[in-house]
Amino acid sequence: MALFGRKKNSEEEKPHTPVRISDVRKTTKQSFTAPSKAKKEIVPASQPKAVSTAKGTYAGVLRSPRITEKASSANEKGVYVFIVAPGATKRDIKRAVQEVYGVVPRKIGITKIHAKVIFNRRIRGVKPGGKKAYVYLKQGDKIEIV
Protein backbone atom coordinates (compact mmCIF):
# COMPACT_ATOMS: atom_id res chain seq x y z
CA MET A 1 0.00 0.00 0.00
CA ALA A 2 1.33 3.41 -0.92
CA LEU A 3 1.15 6.13 1.65
CA PHE A 4 1.78 9.67 0.45
CA GLY A 5 3.04 8.43 -2.88
CA ARG A 6 5.84 6.19 -1.54
CA LYS A 7 6.00 2.49 -2.11
CA LYS A 8 7.11 0.51 0.89
CA ASN A 9 9.06 -2.71 0.63
CA SER A 10 7.92 -3.35 -2.93
CA GLU A 11 10.88 -1.88 -4.71
CA GLU A 12 14.39 -1.48 -3.45
CA GLU A 13 15.90 1.96 -3.66
CA LYS A 14 18.61 2.21 -6.27
CA PRO A 15 21.65 4.34 -5.49
CA HIS A 16 21.80 7.57 -7.51
CA THR A 17 24.66 7.70 -10.01
CA PRO A 18 25.70 11.05 -11.42
CA VAL A 19 25.55 11.47 -15.19
CA ARG A 20 27.99 13.61 -17.17
CA ILE A 21 26.63 16.09 -19.69
CA SER A 22 29.16 14.96 -22.28
CA ASP A 23 27.77 11.41 -22.06
CA VAL A 24 24.26 12.64 -22.67
CA ARG A 25 25.36 14.69 -25.69
CA LYS A 26 27.02 11.66 -27.25
CA THR A 27 23.99 9.41 -26.85
CA THR A 28 21.39 11.91 -28.06
CA LYS A 29 22.15 13.45 -31.42
CA GLN A 30 19.52 16.15 -31.62
CA SER A 31 20.05 19.30 -33.57
CA PHE A 32 18.07 22.45 -33.24
CA THR A 33 15.35 22.83 -35.83
CA ALA A 34 13.16 25.84 -36.29
CA PRO A 35 9.50 25.29 -35.48
CA SER A 36 7.55 24.28 -38.54
CA LYS A 37 5.07 26.68 -39.99
CA ALA A 38 2.04 24.49 -39.58
CA LYS A 39 -1.33 25.78 -40.68
CA LYS A 40 -3.26 27.23 -37.80
CA GLU A 41 -6.80 26.14 -37.22
CA ILE A 42 -9.42 28.71 -38.10
CA VAL A 43 -11.55 29.30 -35.05
CA PRO A 44 -15.04 30.65 -35.76
CA ALA A 45 -15.91 33.96 -34.18
CA SER A 46 -17.70 33.64 -30.90
CA GLN A 47 -20.92 35.35 -29.96
CA PRO A 48 -20.70 39.14 -29.52
CA LYS A 49 -19.33 40.22 -26.19
CA ALA A 50 -22.25 42.13 -24.78
CA VAL A 51 -22.90 43.25 -21.25
CA SER A 52 -25.82 41.58 -19.51
CA THR A 53 -28.05 43.76 -17.39
CA ALA A 54 -31.58 43.63 -16.04
CA LYS A 55 -33.12 44.95 -19.28
CA GLY A 56 -31.47 42.35 -21.49
CA THR A 57 -28.36 41.12 -23.16
CA TYR A 58 -27.56 44.19 -25.26
CA ALA A 59 -28.67 46.90 -22.85
CA GLY A 60 -25.07 47.60 -21.76
CA VAL A 61 -23.98 48.43 -25.30
CA LEU A 62 -25.80 51.77 -25.37
CA ARG A 63 -24.23 53.86 -22.61
CA SER A 64 -26.22 57.08 -23.00
CA PRO A 65 -27.68 59.36 -25.65
CA ARG A 66 -25.30 62.12 -26.74
CA ILE A 67 -27.17 65.37 -26.28
CA THR A 68 -25.44 68.18 -28.15
CA GLU A 69 -26.58 70.95 -30.47
CA LYS A 70 -25.56 68.97 -33.53
CA ALA A 71 -27.23 65.78 -32.25
CA SER A 72 -30.50 67.55 -31.42
CA SER A 73 -30.69 69.04 -34.92
CA ALA A 74 -30.05 65.56 -36.35
CA ASN A 75 -32.92 64.14 -34.25
CA GLU A 76 -35.41 66.04 -36.42
CA LYS A 77 -34.12 64.14 -39.47
CA GLY A 78 -34.46 60.75 -37.77
CA VAL A 79 -30.82 60.36 -36.73
CA TYR A 80 -30.03 59.65 -33.07
CA VAL A 81 -26.56 59.80 -31.50
CA PHE A 82 -25.51 57.47 -28.67
CA ILE A 83 -22.34 56.97 -26.67
CA VAL A 84 -21.65 53.25 -26.93
CA ALA A 85 -19.29 50.71 -25.35
CA PRO A 86 -15.75 50.78 -26.82
CA GLY A 87 -15.99 47.19 -28.04
CA ALA A 88 -19.45 47.49 -29.57
CA THR A 89 -19.99 46.62 -33.22
CA LYS A 90 -22.72 47.82 -35.59
CA ARG A 91 -24.52 44.53 -35.16
CA ASP A 92 -24.45 44.88 -31.35
CA ILE A 93 -25.77 48.44 -31.56
CA LYS A 94 -28.58 47.41 -33.92
CA ARG A 95 -29.70 44.63 -31.59
CA ALA A 96 -29.46 46.93 -28.56
CA VAL A 97 -31.66 49.60 -30.19
CA GLN A 98 -34.21 46.93 -31.16
CA GLU A 99 -34.23 45.52 -27.62
CA VAL A 100 -34.27 48.78 -25.64
CA TYR A 101 -36.35 51.09 -27.85
CA GLY A 102 -38.33 48.64 -30.00
CA VAL A 103 -37.45 50.19 -33.38
CA VAL A 104 -35.41 48.73 -36.23
CA PRO A 105 -32.54 50.98 -37.40
CA ARG A 106 -32.11 51.43 -41.14
CA LYS A 107 -28.41 52.34 -40.93
CA ILE A 108 -25.72 52.75 -38.25
CA GLY A 109 -22.54 54.78 -38.39
CA ILE A 110 -19.75 54.55 -35.80
CA THR A 111 -17.06 57.12 -35.08
CA LYS A 112 -14.30 57.30 -32.53
CA ILE A 113 -14.09 60.19 -30.07
CA HIS A 114 -10.42 61.01 -29.48
CA ALA A 115 -9.15 61.94 -26.02
CA LYS A 116 -8.32 65.64 -25.69
CA VAL A 117 -5.73 67.35 -23.52
CA ILE A 118 -7.12 70.45 -21.79
CA PHE A 119 -5.60 73.09 -19.54
CA ASN A 120 -7.58 74.77 -16.80
CA ARG A 121 -5.82 77.27 -14.51
CA ARG A 122 -2.43 75.87 -15.51
CA ILE A 123 -3.52 72.34 -14.60
CA ARG A 124 -3.28 69.73 -17.32
CA GLY A 125 -6.23 67.39 -17.72
CA VAL A 126 -7.53 64.87 -20.21
CA LYS A 127 -11.06 64.55 -21.54
CA PRO A 128 -11.69 60.85 -22.05
CA GLY A 129 -12.35 59.53 -25.52
CA GLY A 130 -14.84 56.87 -26.49
CA LYS A 131 -17.10 55.72 -29.27
CA LYS A 132 -20.33 57.17 -30.61
CA ALA A 133 -22.90 55.76 -32.95
CA TYR A 134 -25.26 57.50 -35.37
CA VAL A 135 -28.49 55.49 -35.56
CA TYR A 136 -30.61 56.23 -38.64
CA LEU A 137 -34.28 55.29 -38.35
CA LYS A 138 -36.97 54.79 -40.96
CA GLN A 139 -39.32 57.63 -41.85
CA GLY A 140 -41.88 57.96 -39.06
CA ASP A 141 -39.98 56.02 -36.36
CA LYS A 142 -39.00 57.93 -33.24
CA ILE A 143 -37.07 57.34 -30.04
CA GLU A 144 -38.12 59.18 -26.87
CA ILE A 145 -34.99 60.49 -25.13
CA VAL A 146 -35.66 62.17 -21.83
User: Could you report the per-residue pLDDT of 31-72, keeping only the tens digit for each?
Assistant: 555 555 555 555 555 544 444 444 567 878 999 999 999 999
User: In this structure, are residues 93 and 78 in contact, taking their beta carbons and an 8 Å threshold?
Assistant: no
d(CA 32, CA 18): 26
Number of other residues whose CB lies within 10 A of the CB of residue 19: 9
Residue 137 bridge partners (DSSP): 105
Domain positions in the chain: 62-137
Give the right CATH number for 62-137 from 3.40.50.720, 3.60.15.30, 3.30.70.330, 3.20.20.140. Answer: 3.30.70.330
Q: Supply the pLDDT for residue 36.
A: 59
- Whether the full predicted model's pTM is greater than 0.85, yes or no, is no
User: Could you report the per-residue pLDDT of 10-39, keeping only the tens digit for each?
Assistant: 555 566 666 666 665 555 555 555 555 555
